[in-house]
Structure 1
Amino acid sequence: MNVDMDTDDWLGCPTPLEMYQHQCSILVDELAETERMLSRARANISGLVQMNDLLMTGKAEAEGKLAEALEKISMLDQQYSFASVQSVKIVTQQRDYLLRENQRLLAELKLLHELHPSSSA
């Protein structure tokens, strides 16, 4: 029993032309989505480029300020030599010694006043 019937139109089966049209519409939708994604990616890239430019400008400013600060430190190092720092240390030690001596003398004076209360009047 050999049946030579064309069954393409049975049960709503699409024709080859309809299948190709459907495939083309799927490809068109995918292409449109790809174009939208490409536009978003371009916008993101543009934003990243602007951010990078701002960061590079900020970095250049920070490097300039750092160079100025290093130059100032170098100048101050030359201006205030070891001898001047030593003289400040000597004065500080003298001040500390005099402060301790003053406290010791105050303690002795207080002790004398406690031992001889009548002589303080």
Structure 2
Amino acid sequence: MKTILIAIMIGFSIFASAKVTDATKNVEISVTSKGFEPNAIDVAPGVPVVLQVTRKTDDTCAQQIQIPSKNIKVDLPLNKTVKIKLGKLVKGEIRFGCGMNMMDSGKIYVK
């Protein structure tokens, strides 16, 4: 009986320690006539990041978003939210901007 109890306790402690999950950081970005809003984003390292980008104007060249350091270039249809999964990030800065590098760009600060 003692052996069974010890086995159950060990099994439970392994199960409990394996249940650790990372919360995803969802960041909403709007593309307006002023550019990307917000254009400065702070996130913690090691946390999965998902950008939710909505282009709200047709008056700019920002019909795409690009993140050069991640080799990402995504079309932004008008008034539709596009999700971009960046995964877990390491400390540093990640620049993003329009597909033609003309519009005010933004930065993700991982700190």
Q: Which TM-score band applies after superposition, normalised by the shorter structure? A: under 0.3
- Which structure has the highest helix share of the two? 1
Which protein has the larger Cα radius of gyration, Structure 1 or Structure 2?
Answer: 1
- Which structure has the highest strand share of the two? 2
